[in-house]
């Protein structure tokens, strides 16, 4: 030791180093970070030439260098430096005997390994890494001076090695736990996939079977002397119905599998759009949004599909009406949505299988994919969904969706006058207010008024089909100023609007940024 001359100062530094190792190593649970940090702390605090950490390999015959100070350490690790346990090295001997070994002059040490990467070593200490009755490896500390280690050094360094051994043991245990967890997860995922695939194949097989048997029967009937048209018509119906069910499975499974594109969404509007597409009669749906509810972060096309499935279930359960309550959740990171129907409700034995695919209470005519698809969509959006139900009283779905902030946008540019062709719903009201506040001239009407710069048509119009509105605008020569907006877009109508000459078809803007982009279209 060349720099520490005052014994008290030296002792203080050693104790601080021991404390630092103790503090740091217990916080690091990644061996690749823990071991290099430890050798650096030891060398810096004691001003040693070299320090390294060896761990016993899987065979139990060797100790492998896992961290080493400086360039020498790097090269030895790259070369796979290892020493035999019990062999002719201080580390090998110390690991076997579980006892510290010190060579105050390595020239005199009978088991010292002459390392070509560390030619200036004159003193060396090997400290075992032991936890309980288990030896994990050893730490080597080397100095360029003879007799560099005092009794105090040995004590503090062994105490450091003990801390380190505990930390290594914890890190290894965590790694084993993570590995076991990953294996369990893989096994469970595989099991779930196999189960659902088997169910899907079984279900589709059951639906396809009537097609083949009916066709064989029809072939035979057509060769008969007397043809029975009634029987043939019934057979055709059987084929039609089986095919419809198989195609319905494709529609349900393909939807949630698509990549989601979350954006800030006004849930009340997505709920209205979902009800419109699911055919919920006007007057049966009540949407209550508590003032101050933030926007949710969601892919609105997918979310509308999920809400649509819940509404269809409610209608099939003979609900007299459906109430949707949207409000801030107890956790400010989320928005809460409750979908409450007063239909037949579900008994407990059905409720516990509600999320399983291909299980339906409505007979063979239903694939039973509505709720699993809704679960999949909500999960993909990082939300949660649960259900409570009371037979005879109805069912309530509790949904949490991640909250989102409005995204500010510059509304000063783009169209100066805008006509909104929309039913009198909260989205239209909110959009009109924002545009008016930004100094735009806003008109709201189902008929063309004046010569606006931009015409925005809501696709989900209760009062008349959007296609008729687009045709009317085309006849008036203003289709090129028109953008059709929807909470959930479908391809066939989108192609038709575009072919009719509208400027664009877009997702409904729910933020100022999206509205600003719409004005600049």
Partner 1 sequence: MPKILLVDDEPLIQRSMQKTLMRAGYTVEAAGNCADGLKRFEAAEAGGAPFDMALLDLNMPGFDGGEASGAGLELLSRLIGLRPDLPVIILTAYDEVSKVKDAVGRGARGYCVKGREQSLLDQINAIFKEP
239 binds partner 1 (CB under 8 A): no
Give min distance, CB of 251 to partner 1, in A: 8
Q: Which is nearer to partner 1, 124 or 459 (CB)?
A: 459
> What is the nearest approach in angstroms of partner 1 to the Cβ of residue 247?
5
**Smallest gap from residue 510 Cβ to partner 1 (A):** 17
The span of 204-212, 246-254, 362-370, 385-393 binding partner 1 (CB under 8 A) equals 246-254
| Cβ-based nearer residue to partner 1, 33 or 496 | 496
247 binds partner 1 (CB under 8 A): yes
User: In the complex with partner 1, which residue's Cβ is closer, 410 or 468?
Assistant: 468
Choose one: 10-18, 35-43, 214-222, 251-259; the region binding partner 1 (CB under 8 A): 251-259
Whole-number minimum distance, CB 255 to partner 1, in Å? 8
Please return the burial class of 7, using the count of CB atoms within 10 Å of its CB with bins 0-12, 13-18 and 19+. exposed
Backbone angles phi, psi at 304, to 5 degrees: -60, -35
How many residues contact partner 1, by CB under 8 A? 16
Q: Which is nearer to partner 1, 261 or 353 (CB)?
A: 261
Nearest-angstrom CA–CA distance, 378 and 297: 11
Residue 265 CB, nearest approach to partner 1 (Å): 17
Q: Which is nearer to partner 1, 374 or 399 (CB)?
A: 374
- The three-class DSSP label of residue 413 is coil
CA torsion through residues 55, 57, 58, 61, sign = negative
Between the two ends of the chain, the Cα-to-Cα distance in Å is 75
Give 461's DSSP letter: -
CB of 483 to partner 1, least distance (A): 12
Residue among 44 and 251 whose Cβ is closer to partner 1: 251
Which residues ranging from 472 to 501 are in contact with partner 1 (CB under 8 A)? Answer: 489-492, 494-496, 498-499
In the complex with partner 1, the residue whose CB is nearer, 334 or 497, is: 497
- Of 195 and 209, which has the nearer Cβ to partner 1? 209
Q: Least distance (Å) from partner 1 to the CB of residue 521?
A: 13
Q: How far is the CB of 495 from partner 1 (least distance, A)?
A: 4
Residue 325 or 467: the one with the smaller Cβ distance to partner 1 is: 467
Strand residue runs (E) in 111-262: 123-131, 134-143
Q: Report the chain's C-alpha Rg in angstroms.
A: 37
**184 is written with which tokens?**
């369990």
Residue 441: strand pairing partners:
417
Among 45, 63, 83, 505, binds partner 1 (CB under 8 A): 505
Beta carbon of residue 498, minimum distance to partner 1 (angstroms, whole number): 4
Q: 3-state DSSP call for residue 295?
A: strand
Report the 10 Å Cβ neighbour count for 220: 9
Q: Which of 173, 174, 193, 254 binds partner 1 (CB under 8 A)?
A: 254
Instruction: Give 135's contacts (C-beta < 8 A, 6+ positions apart).
Output: 56, 95, 98, 128, 129
Nearer to partner 1 among residue 402 and residue 493 (C-beta): 493
Q: Closest separation between CB of residue 472 and partner 1, Å?
A: 18
211 lines the binding site for partner 1 (CB under 8 A): no
Q: Measuring CA to CA, which residue among 50, 65, 38, 70 is closest to residue 137? A: 65
x/- map, 284-323, partner 1, by CB under 8 A: ----------------------------------------
Residue 456's beta-bridge partner residues?
Answer: 420, 483
Give me the helix-helix angle, 7-27 and 151-222, nearest 10°.
Answer: 10
> Residue 139: what are its φ and ψ, rounded to 5°?
-110, 135
* Distance of alpha carbon 136 from alpha carbon 173, whole angstroms: 12
CB of 188 to partner 1, least distance (A): 30
Least distance between partner 1 and beta carbon 518 (Å): 15
Binding to partner 1 (CB under 8 A) within 258-277 occurs at 258
Closer of 104 and 506 to partner 1 (Cβ)? 506
Bridge partners for 142 per DSSP: 50, 124
Contact 129, 52 (CB under 8 A): no
CA dist., res. 406 & res. 491, Å (int): 28
- Of the candidates 304, 320, 324, 316, the residue with the CA atom closest to the CA atom of residue 367: 316
Q: What is the DSSP letter of 424?
A: S
Confirm or reject binding of residue 236 to partner 1 (CB under 8 A): no
- Residue 369 CB, nearest approach to partner 1 (Å): 15
Cβ-based nearer residue to partner 1, 276 or 397: 276
Q: Three-class SS of residue 25?
A: helix
Report the C-alpha gap between 129 and 166 in whole angstroms. Answer: 9
Residue of 98, 114, 188, 250 interacting with partner 1 (CB under 8 A): 250
- For partner 1, the closer CB: 62 or 203: 203
304 near 311, Cβ under 8 Å?
no
Task: Taking the CA atoms of 353, 355, 357 and 363 in sequence, report the sign of the dihedral they define.
Answer: positive
Residues near partner 1 (CB under 8 A) are: 247, 250-251, 254-255, 258, 489-492, 494-496, 498-499, 505
């Amino acid at each position: 030791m060349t720099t520490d001359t005052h014994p008290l100062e030296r002792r203080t530094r050693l104790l601080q180093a021991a404390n630092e190792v103790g503090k740091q190593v217990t916080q690091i649970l990644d061996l690749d970070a823990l071991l290099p940090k430890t050798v650096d702390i030891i060398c810096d605090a004691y001003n040693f030439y070299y320090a390294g950490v060896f761990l016993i390999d899987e065979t139990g015959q060797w100790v492998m260098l896992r961290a080493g100070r400086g360039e020498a350490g790097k090269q030895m690790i790259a070369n796979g430096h290892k020493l035999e346990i019990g062999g002719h090295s201080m580390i090998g001997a110390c690991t076997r005997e579980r006892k510290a070994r010190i060579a105050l002059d390595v020239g005199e040490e009978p088991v010292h390994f002459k390392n070509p990467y560390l030619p200036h070593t004159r003193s060396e200490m090997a400290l075992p890494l032991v936890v309980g009755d288990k030896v994990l490896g050893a730490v080597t500390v080397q100095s360029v001076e003879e007799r560099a280690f005092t009794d105090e050094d040995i004590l503090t360094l062994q105490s450091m090695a003990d801390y380190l051994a505990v930390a290594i043991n914890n890190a290894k245990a965590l790694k084993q736990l993570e590995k076991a967890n990953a294996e369990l997860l893989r096994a469970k995922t595989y099991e779930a996939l196999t189960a659902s695939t088997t169910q899907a194949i079984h279900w589709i097989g059951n639906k396809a079977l009537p097609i083949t048997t009916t066709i064989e029967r029809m072939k035979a009937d057509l060769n008969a002397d007397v043809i029975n048209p009634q029987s043939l018509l019934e057979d055709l119906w059987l084929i039609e119905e089986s095919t419809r069910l198989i195609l319905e499975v494709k529609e349900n499974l393909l939807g949630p599998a698509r990549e989601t594109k979350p954006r800030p969404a006004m849930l009340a509007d997505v709920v209205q759009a979902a009800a419109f597409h699911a055919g919920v009669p006007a007057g049966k749906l009540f949407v209550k949004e508590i003032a101050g509810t933030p926007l949710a972060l969601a892919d609105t096309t997918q979310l509308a599909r999920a809400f649509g499935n819940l509404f269809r279930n409610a209608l099939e359960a003979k609900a007299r009406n459906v109430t949707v309550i949207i409000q801030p959740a107890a956790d400010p990171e989320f928005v809460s949505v409750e979908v409450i129907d007063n239909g037949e409700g579900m008994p407990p034995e059905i409720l516990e299988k509600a999320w399983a695919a291909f299980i339906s209470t409505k007979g063979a005519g239903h694939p039973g994919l509505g709720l699993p698809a809704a679960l999949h969509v909500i999960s993909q959006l990082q939300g949660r969904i649960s259900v409570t139900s009371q037979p005879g009283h109805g069912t309530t779905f509790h949904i949490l969706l991640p909250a989102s902030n409005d995204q500010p946008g510059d509304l000063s540019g783009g169209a100066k006058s805008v006509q909104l062709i929309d039913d009198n719903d909260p989205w239209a009201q909110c959009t009109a207010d924002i545009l008016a506040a930004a100094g735009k001239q806003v008109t709201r009407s189902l008929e063309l008024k004046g010569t606006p710069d931009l015409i925005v048509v809501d696709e989900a119009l209760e009062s008349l089909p959007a296609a008729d509105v687009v045709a009317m605008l085309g006849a008036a020569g203003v289709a090129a100023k028109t953008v059709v907006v929807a909470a959930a877009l479908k391809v066939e109508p989108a192609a038709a609007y575009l072919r009719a000459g509208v400027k664009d078809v877009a997702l409904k803007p729910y933020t100022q940024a999206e509205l600003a982009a719409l004005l600049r279209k």
